[in-house]
Homo-oligomer: A and B are copies of this chain.
Amino acid sequence: MRDEGGHAGVAASCRPITDILTRVGDKWSVMVVILLGNGTKRFNEMRRLIGGISQRMLTLTLRGLERDGLVTRTVFPTVPPRVDYALTDLGRSLLVPISALGAWAHGHRDAIDAARLAFDARVDANAAQDS
């Protein structure tokens, strides 16, 4: 019982993981979660803090996180309107493994950059040889 016995169950057992990773692995979700990790924020406040995200994408990202129960959206019926976003308990619990992955990414950043440079150099060398 090591790696054999894999009919199609491998894909099935990874489905939830991949599912989460595609939610959190998109262009902005992690940044939003981490940002909300240190406090409630308003819409345009996040927009400014992130700097580079479009209105549309911030809305879509927040809606996705809200749908998954990671973020709450609180509307104050004032004028001008005010909407607060915050992490739920579920969202805060996600912060733990996300931070672990973040720490890994930060810690191995140089190694990855070096690997990329080496790989690209090797590819370029091969391409030049095929002239």
Contact = CB atoms under 8 A, between A and B. Distances in A.
Interface of A: 2-3, 6-8, 10-11, 14, 16-22, 24-27, 30-31, 34-35, 38-39, 41, 49-52, 66-70, 90, 93-94, 96-98, 100-106, 108-109, 111-112, 114-116, 118-120
Contact of A3 (B17, B19, B39, B106): B39
A11 B90 contact: no
16 contacts: A2-B39, A3-B38, A10-B34, A10-B35, A11-B51, A14-B30, A20-B105, A21-B21, A22-B27, A69-B112, A90-B108, A90-B115, A93-B108, A97-B101, A97-B104, A100-B100
Contact of A2 (B31, B38, B93): B38
B11 A31 contact: yes
Interface of chain A: mostly helix, strand, loop or mixed: helix
A86 to B, nearest CB: 12
B17 A67 contact: no
B20 A22 contact: no
